[in-house]
């Protein structure tokens, strides 16, 4: 849910991300993973945006992963192959504080190959940076603040002043979702207007995705118990084709 929220913000407020990460407010459009022959499942935590001159590759991570440096090299090579004349800025943005040394890795090294990329640890960034741009407001409570609840209060006050209702709802929802990495839910809901948040595309899509994941989890349990595809479909509301795909994935996992 955190990755999906970050991707939504980067896609819909790309000029704000460009101002932050490229140092200039330029119009960016999304590059679909298929354009770089990337598996969409593998690309869940990242977004690729492009202008006429450059590509901005952002990788959002809640927790560090050992494979991130290689993935950055992989994406850079694919980007070069597809867009030979464009520069690429690659940034890994870590959302949640950790003591892992992996969040300090800024290069992939292999024999005579070295590829460098940038890393941003949100908990080291001043909240004032994010308060400057609407699309970055939801990150403020994750910044370098001793009082994230007060920072979230500031964010909601700014969002309340936004006149466009859809933008207001989406930013309110994104702020509440990302604040969940730092604050308890009761604190968040005491500060965030839930009536506005529930009108958000982000909020509704996450609810739908959560429900879909729950259905898939139940379906897998039924399949492991030996229930037929038709019975599982009736019991979960999934289509027969969806259940068959889950069954195939389950069987493949069992063989590996």
178-215 per-position pLDDT tens digit: 999 999 989 998 998 877 777 776 677 667 777 777 88
120 shares its domain with 189: no
Q: What is the SS3 assignment for 43? A: coil
- Using the 3D structure, point to which of 124, 142, 168 is the last residue of a domain: 124
Q: What are the backbone angles phi and psi of residue 124, rounded to the nearest 5°?
A: -100, -5
Which structure tokens are listed for 84?
């030979």
Task: Give helix 201-224 / helix 240-255 axis angle, nearest 10°.
Answer: 60
Q: Does residue 206 lie in a domain region?
A: no
Distance in angstroms (rounded) separating the CA atoms of residues 197 and 203: 7
Residues 152 and 94 in one domain: no
210 falls within a domain: no
How much is the average pLDDT of 129-134? Answer: 96
Q: Does 9 share its domain with 108? A: yes
Both 143 and 248 in a single domain? Answer: no
- 142 and 44 co-located in one domain: no
> Is residue 94 very low, low, confident or very high in pLDDT (cuts 50, 70, 90)?
very high
* Residue that terminates a domain, selected from 124, 140, 164: 124
Q: What is the pLDDT of residue 142?
A: 97
Q: What CA–CA distance (Å, rounded) separates 14 from 57? A: 12
pLDDT tens track for 7-26: 899 999 999 999 999 998 88
pLDDT band at 256 (very low <50, low <70, confident <90, very high): low
Residues 84 and 17 in one domain: yes
pTM: 0.79
Q: Domain range spanning residue 246?
A: 215-255
Cβ-contact 172, 192 below 8 angstroms: yes
């Amino acid at each position: 849910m955190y990755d999906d929220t970050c991707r939504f913000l980067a896609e819909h407020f790309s000029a704000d991300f460009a101002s932050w990460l490229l140092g200039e407010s330029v119009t960016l459009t999304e590059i679909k993973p298929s354009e770089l022959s990337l598996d969409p499942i593998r690309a869940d935590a990242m977004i690729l945006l492009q202008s006429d001159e450059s590509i901005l590759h952002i990788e959002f991570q809640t927790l560090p992963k050992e494979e991130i440096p290689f993935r950055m090299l992989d994406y850079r090579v694919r980007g070069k192959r597809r867009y030979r004349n464009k520069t690429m800025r690659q940034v890994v943005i870590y959302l949640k504080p950790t003591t892992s040394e992996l969040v300090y890795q800024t290069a992939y090294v292999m024999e005579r190959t070295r590829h460098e990329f940038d890393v941003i640890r949100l908990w080291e960034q001043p909240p004032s940076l994010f308060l400057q741009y609407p699309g970055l407001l939801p990150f403020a409570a994750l910044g370098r603040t001793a009082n994230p609840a007060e920072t979230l209060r500031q964010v909601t006050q700014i969002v309340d002043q936004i006149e466009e209702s859809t933008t207001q709802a989406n930013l309110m929802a994104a702020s509440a979702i990302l604040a969940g990495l730092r604050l308890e839910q009761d604190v968040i809901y005491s500060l965030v207007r839930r009536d506005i948040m529930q009108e958000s595309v982000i909020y509704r899509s996450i609810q739908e995705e959560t429900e879909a994941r729950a259905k898939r989890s139940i379906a897998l349990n039924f399949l492991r118990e030996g229930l037929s595809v038709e019975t599982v479909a009736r019991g979960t509301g999934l289509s027969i084709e969806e259940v068959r795909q889950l069954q195939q994935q389950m069987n493949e996992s069992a063989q590996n």
